[in-house]
Structure 1
Amino acid sequence: MSAATSKLGLDGQTIELVDAAPILFKALRSDQLDAEGRAIIDAVEAADVLVVGSPVYRASYTGALKHLFDLVDYRALTGKRVILAATGGTPLHGLMTEHQLRPLFGFFNALTLPTSIYATETDFTDYEIASPVVQERIERAVSELAQVLPLSDHTAAARAHANRPALAAASA
């Protein structure tokens, strides 16, 4: 998320499920949430962009992440941009983003960006991403996000001044 917030000048909020899960697990339905739980769901539903990451357990995302999205209104994420990310013990779980997370957000009619990010323990040094391959995927996902975000007036004016189109199409 820090790459997206710094490169695109966005404000961000991180929801750590290790802290949020005990609050959310008090409710089976969104109408059972207390004020603290409602604030978590409201933050997800109100976000313009979601960066969703999960460790891989049993070839899928965590139950806490599943429960979070069980409480989100199915209409709330329509058209929202989503960057998918995951970590796992081995490269064998690298397709979890494609086979588990992407379909989840398809249900919500969200726009998942083409590039997902997957990392293993060997890609980190002191809890920081050290792998150039993973860094490149992060940069690519953020670039894709920049391409699909609505243009601000400043960006549109700069493109017009530079005689560059905001949208280009090509056909073979």
Structure 2
Amino acid sequence: MNANWPSAKFPVKPGDDRDLQRWVETISLRVFGKPFLHRAVFNSRLRTTGGRYFLSDHRIEISPRHLKELGPEVVEGIIRHELCHYHLHLEGKGYRHRDADFRQLLESVNGLRYTPSLPSASRGKGRPYRYVLRCRKCGREAYRKKRMDPARYRCGVCRGALTLHDC
């Protein structure tokens, strides 16, 4: 680890592109034995993926949320994954997920095959319904994910008026 980084345990500050650039260059030399000659940047808009490699300009984007919530060990696995795409693409080999070259290289460098889910992204998953429709006449309940205007509908059993409540 470089002494210029914020700490040995947490090598990059989320959002600091210069530190990320050095970290990716270091991993590329140490693990692949090849230099990383393009840009590596954080992209805070990434939510469902930990990183992306761009074929057009060869840059790598990493999610700062994954660094904050899952730590540097997971992000290093994501960086290794993206560097597999990078090096194979530049060598003219199979760089896609389905290609044998990619799978072999990813396994040999211990890169992550899939990005783990973020803890913050799983909020609300335990309770799939947000609203409950209740009949004023018979008390029957119906659950909904989306909000709706209960005045436009009637109970399917007794034709009574409905009320909408939060779960």
Q: Could you state the TM-score of these two structures normalised by the residue count of structure 2?
A: 0.24
Q: Which structure has greater helix proportion?
A: 1
Higher relative contact order (Cα pairs below 8 Å, separated by 6+ residues) = 1
